């Protein structure tokens, strides 16, 4: 069966510091991968999605970037965090052209 | 107009009650429709897909009205464990989903 991992689970970082969040999927090949952010009191916002290694589509321009160095690995990064980057970051996967997405446990980021 | 709109609630119901949530979406080209459930401080989990013919999974029934761009979720015989936020989700574009902000349900003893 497929599983999705995210780490770290929680993170407190000062403004201006870098960020690296990692997501890995097991039990499937060629997944579509997604990064979402859920800010307090707001809905899920799609940040990036990837349909293959090295292929990244950005939905929202901001100081975040994403990379997919391996088929089942998706990384979210920032060079300098802003206060507004605080939120719950969720990685998700889907297969083929299906719309059903399955989420990892998330990383709760607080920028201070 | 918001892309996916839901009543935020909370809906407070006693155990055993029937409760219904509604959702409207703005993109008439939307192709797939879902309800996800999100517990407090947890990730969303797929509850069920929604089809034009309507579909049922145990105590849960989902309906889609494409003409009115309206989706509903009915929960019968509510359990304490049904307390959560229910997210209405619409798929359009290449495998991308748009999420509503969710409707909070609180089931009390």
Taking only the tens place, the pLDDT of each residue in A10-34 is 999 999 999 999 999 999 989 999 9
- CB contact residues (below 8 A), chain A span 39-78, against chain B: 42-44, 46, 49, 51, 59
pLDDT computed for residue B80 by the predictor: 98
Contact A100 B49 (CB under 8 A): yes
How many beta carbons lie within 10 A of that of residue B103, not counting itself?
22
* CB within 8 Å of chain A, chain B residues 7-66: 31-32, 34, 41-46, 49
User: pLDDT averaged over chain A?
Assistant: 93
* Residues 6+ away with beta carbon under 8 Å from A77: A18, A19, A20, A21, A64, A65, A66, A67
Positions in chain A short of pLDDT 50? none
Measure CA B26 to chain center. Answer: 16
> How many residues comprise chain A?
112
Q: Which residues pair with A111 in a beta bridge?
A: A13
Q: How far is A4 from chain B (nearest CA, A)?
A: 12
Which backbone phi and psi does A35 adopt, to 5 degrees? -115, 130
Share of chain A above pLDDT 90, in %: 79
pLDDT, block means (10 residues), chain B with 109 residues: 88 97 93 94 95 91 94 97 97 80 96
Q: Among A6, A99, A109, which would you mutate to test the B interface (most chain B Cβ atoms within 10 Å of its Cβ)?
A: A99
Q: What is the pLDDT of residue A59?
A: 84
How confident is the model at residue B14, as a pLDDT?
98
Rounded to whole angstroms, the maximal C-alpha distance in chain A is 39
The answer to whether B91 faces chain A, any CB pair under 8 Å, is yes
Flag if B44 and A90 touch (Cβ within 8 Å): yes
DSSP string, B57-104: ETTEEEEEETTTTEEEEEE-S--GGG-EEEEEEEE-SSS-EEE---EE
Q: What is the pLDDT of residue A99?
A: 81
Q: Which of A44, A50, A96, A102 is the mutation pick for testing B, counting most B CBs within 10 A?
A: A44
How high is the pLDDT of residue A60? 80
Q: What pLDDT score does B74 carry?
A: 97
Residue with tokens 């989990």: B45
pLDDT at A2: 87
């Amino acid at each position: 069966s497929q599983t999705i991992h995210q780490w770290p689970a929680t993170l407190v970082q000062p403004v201006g510091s870098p960020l690296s969040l990692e997501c890995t999927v097991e039990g499937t090949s060629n997944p579509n991968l997604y990064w979402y952010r859920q800010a307090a009191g707001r809905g899920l916002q799609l940040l990036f999605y990837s349909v293959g290694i090295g292929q990244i589509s950005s939905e929202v321009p901001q100081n975040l970037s994403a990379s997919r160095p391996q088929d089942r690995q998706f990384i979210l990064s920032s060079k300098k965090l802003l206060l507004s980057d605080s939120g719950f970051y969720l990685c998700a996967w889907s297969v083929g052209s299906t719309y059903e997405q399955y989420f990892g446990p998330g990383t709760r980021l607080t920028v201070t | 107009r918001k892309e996916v709109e839901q009543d935020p609630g909370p809906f407070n119901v006693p155990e055993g009650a029937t409760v219904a949530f509604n959702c409207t979406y703005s993109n008439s080209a939307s192709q797939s429709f879902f309800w996800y459930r999100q517990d407090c401080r947890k990730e969303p989990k797929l509850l069920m897909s929604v089809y034009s013919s309507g579909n049922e999974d145990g105590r849960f029934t989902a309906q889609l009205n494409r003409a009115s761009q309206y989706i509903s979720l009915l929960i019968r015989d509510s359990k304490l464990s049904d307390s959560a936020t229910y997210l209405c989700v619409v798929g359009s574009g290449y495998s991308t989903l748009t999420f509503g902000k969710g409707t909070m349900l609180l089931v009390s003893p």
